[in-house]
Amino acid sequence: MQRAHAWVGLALGLAVACSSSSPSSGPGGGTSSGAPASTGDAGLPPQANPGESQVSFHTPKDQATQLVVGIDAEDFASQGYMVRALEVVVTVDGVVAARETLDAEAGALFPHAVRLVAPKDRPNAAVAIKITARAPGADLVLRTAKTAFVAGRTRLAYLFLETRCTLFGIGGGGSPPGPTCTNPGETCIGGACAPDALGALPDFTADWATNPPSACGTGAAGELLVGKGQTAFAPVADGDTLTPECGPQGGHHLWMALRMKNVGQFGSKTVLSATQPAGTASVPLTGFAYAWAPAAAGQCELVGVRFQLDVGATPVAAFLGKPLDITATTDDKAGHHASIVSHVTIATAPVGPFCH
């Protein structure tokens, strides 16, 4: 199940420079300062990795076949979480090729890149990745992935850590925890357990952190469609009636869903707001910095968007039984944009077990 929970304000402060570990740490080391290091090839992180096992270090390599693991994340601070460390473990055919822990006090944790070179006699070797983001005193997010080298190519394995996949929640109306995925071969993606096997990998490009790969396309004008639904997308036509739900904290929200094309899948800022076409009631800007999930026909979806009507000073009664124009926009790191206005009517009464 996908779900998204609003944060008010749009502070996305992820660093853009790739933080890579110094090759001087050599095999067996496992700590990284997070500071940038020199690269052997333009745009690529260093070849030597901290924590690399002796077996991997001394295995002859095929320099024509490489894989860059690119790691980025949503703005966890916006949901009240503090990420203090990042542990990355990568194996090639079961042999440890990189093992490092980055400390937030030494530099930015995200984005971060790990460069791997395939064994000379196994240019299609299997790669397993395990990423753990840690808050003070506890693991916050666990993300796994499986893929393989592609002979003669340098590919990118892009992994994006999401607040919907946190292992514990924060009280007071913050984000609830994501699922704990216990089935072998599954990991949390978009707030749900899903297979951790990656599909076809894109070629590595030096701008991967600011223009990450996207299943939604980015080559034309952005398209955006407003829908509804907590667990699945259902279209909303102009004039449709939407029924607000009573929340456990006393607010009243709509479960919105969005469908998008030609805007980046990861790191986009999606914003909802609303005004009455003839009246003074309005809903202030509410931002959602969540990754979009691939959908049919090259589109992506964001489902379970909790849009609270009375998040501002206007009581919910001012919206009930009246028309409302909902504006949605989404913008990615590379400057792609999409927007739409949906003209709906709010039902005369809210529903849900928390209504009093």
In a domain, 80, yes or no: yes
In a domain, 315, yes or no: yes
pLDDT score at 11: 30
pLDDT score at 31: 60
Residues 292 and 329 in one domain: yes
Residue 147 · residue 201 · CB < 8 Å: yes
pLDDT score at 334: 84
Residues 30 and 137 in one domain: yes
Which structural domain, as residue segments, surrounds residue 307?
223-346
Residues 54 and 151 in one domain: yes
pLDDT tens digits, one per residue of 296-336 = 888 999 998 999 999 988 999 999 999 999 999 999 988 89
In a domain, 157, yes or no: yes
Residues 98 and 154 in one domain: yes
Q: How many CA atoms lie within 13 A of 99 on its CB side?
A: 15
Residues 49 and 140 in one domain: yes
Residues 83 and 227 in one domain: no
In a domain, 213, yes or no: no
pLDDT tens digits, one per residue of 135-174 = 999 999 999 999 999 999 999 999 999 988 999 887 544 5
Residues 160 and 274 in one domain: no
Residue 320's CATH number: 2.60.40
User: CA–CA separation, 286 vs 273, rounded Å?
Assistant: 6
CA distances from 236 to 62, 122, 167, 258 (A): 53, 51, 33, 10
CA distances from 147 to 7, 83, 130, 185, 189 (A): 34, 26, 12, 12, 16
Residues 182 and 270 in one domain: no
Residues 150 and 268 in one domain: no
In a domain, 166, yes or no: yes
Residues 152 and 284 in one domain: no
pLDDT tens digits, one per residue of 172-225 = 445 568 899 999 999 999 888 999 999 999 999 999 998 899 989 877 789 999
DSSP string, 279-303: SS-EEEEEEE--PPEE-GGG-EEEE
pLDDT tens digits, one per residue of 49-67 = 899 999 999 999 999 999 9
Residue 5 · residue 302 · CB < 8 Å: no
pLDDT score at 170: 74
Number of domains the chain contains: 2
In a domain, 277, yes or no: yes
Among the candidates 177, 195, 213, a domain finishes at 195
The position carrying tokens 């707030």 is 191
Residues 281 and 243 in one domain: yes
Residues 167 and 254 in one domain: no
In a domain, 122, yes or no: yes
